[in-house]
Amino acid sequence: LVDAVVLLEKQCLSHADINAVQTLVFQFSEYYEKQFYKNQWNWLCVCLTTFHQLLHLHEVLSAIGPTYVYWQWPMERL
């Protein structure tokens, strides 16, 4: 996941970068499900919507562009 975040901080993303982010996020998701959720109903609470939203990140990157275009960090500093 850290490798994906490093890619997301770039000012310009290529299609290869977006594909790499998608692959890294999917790998993280699979790891998280196996290690924490384990397909057990009583552990469903560890499956946060934030993690699900990560799975759609590549779609947002393709449609809008790099994260610096729409991130909220500058607004949080005010």
User: CB count, 10 Å around CB of 67?
Assistant: 18
pLDDT of 69: 77
- Both tokens assigned to 22: 């998608």
In terms of Cβ atoms closer than 10 Å to its own Cβ (0-12, 13-18, 19+), residue 25 is buried
- Supply the range of the domain harboring residue 51: 2-77
pLDDT of 41: 82
Q: With a threshold of 0.85, does the pTM exceed it?
A: no
Identity of residue 29: S
Number of structural domains found in the chain: 1
Low-confidence ranges of the chain (pLDDT < 70): 73-74, 77-78
Question: Exposure pattern of 36-60 as b/e (b: 16+ CB <10 Å)?
Answer: ebeeeeeeeeeeeeebeebeebbee
